[in-house]
A and B are shown apart, each in its own frame.
Chain A
Amino acid sequence: MSAPFMNARDRAYAESVADGRLRETITHSVTQYRRSDQLSVGDALPPLALTRLTDEAAARLDELGAGKLLVLIFGSYT
């Protein structure tokens, strides 16, 4: 796993927040989850498994493309 990380834009945003407590919260959240890039174009898919929401079955990343292009859109509700 790569180390906790804040990119320049994260840092600039956090520094623009006047409320010290909120600034601390932002910094904590970002450093907890933000990671520096590990993958480049041309790299192989990492050997990972995820869980399908529909049936909670395991889904290996390297099987998801199934001969097609594979698009992964990462995100959350919030």
Chain B
Amino acid sequence: MTLYQTYREQANIFVVYIAEAHSVDEWQMESNEQEGICIRQHTTFAERLAAARLCEQQLHLSIPTLVDGMDNAACDAFAAWPERIYIVGRDGRMAYIGGPGPYEFKPHEASEALRVLIGSETSTQGELKP
């Protein structure tokens, strides 16, 4: 089960599509080329939307996707490039900050953090019951 399938009822989960990590006109990866994944770095928002749609289709993503603007505001604010996971508490504050990819991109660690956060919220709610 993926993080989304497991926790979609307890958390709102989104992919945030940001600037390409390995565009064909920048740092293209041989592995991407072998798999036919050749995307130019987006120069317009329409290109970024198209790349996000292609990604969603090709990877059969069921997680709702949000798209960063061409100012890369979210990517910069979250120091998110090339990939990263954040969990935000119900109070709107950062509850878990995963390490920056690719070396410290750890979905299993994030999944475990989410499980613990859900558990702590459940037990806190339980304690508040009269």
Chain A contacts to B: CB under 8 angstroms:
1-2, 7, 9, 25-26, 28-30, 32-46, 48-54, 56, 59, 61-62, 64-78
Bound form: Cα–Cα A75–B23 in Å: 13
Given contacts A50-B67, A71-B86, 12 further A-B contacts (CB under 8 A): A25-B26, A38-B79, A51-B67, A64-B14, A68-B90, A69-B90, A69-B121, A71-B3, A74-B75, A74-B84, A75-B101, A78-B39
Whether the Cβ atoms of B64 and A54 lie closer than 8 Å is yes
Bound form: Cα–Cα A56–B19 in Å: 17
Q: How far is the CB of A50 from chain B (nearest CB, A)?
A: 4
Q: Which of A44, A52, A56 is the one whose CB lies under 8 Å from B92? A: A44
Whether the Cβ atoms of B54 and A77 lie closer than 8 Å is yes
Residues of B within 8 A of A (CB-CB), count: 73
Binary interface profile of B, 66-90, with partner A (CB < 8 Å = 1, else 0)?
1111001111111111111111111
Give 9 nearest A-B pairs by CB, closest first: A74-B80, A77-B55, A50-B66, A69-B11, A33-B81, A75-B83, A29-B27, A70-B88, A53-B65
Question: Chain B: which residue is nearest A64 at the CB level?
Answer: B12
Kindly list chain B residues whose C-beta atoms are within 8 Å of the C-beta of A26: 27
Q: How far is the CB of B100 from chain A (nearest CB, A)?
A: 7
Kindly list chain B residues whose C-beta atoms are within 8 Å of the C-beta of A38: 76-79
Whether the Cβ atoms of A2 and B76 lie closer than 8 Å is yes
Q: How far is the CB of A27 from chain B (nearest CB, A)?
A: 9
Whether the Cβ atoms of A73 and B85 lie closer than 8 Å is yes
Bound form: Cα–Cα A2–B53 in Å: 29
Kindly list chain A residues whose C-beta atoms are within 8 Å of the C-beta of B52: 53, 77
Whether the Cβ atoms of A76 and B88 lie closer than 8 Å is no
Q: How far is the CB of A47 from chain B (nearest CB, A)?
A: 9
Bound form: Cα–Cα A39–B23 in Å: 27
Whether the Cβ atoms of A56 and B49 lie closer than 8 Å is yes
Q: How far is the CB of A55 from chain B (nearest CB, A)?
A: 11
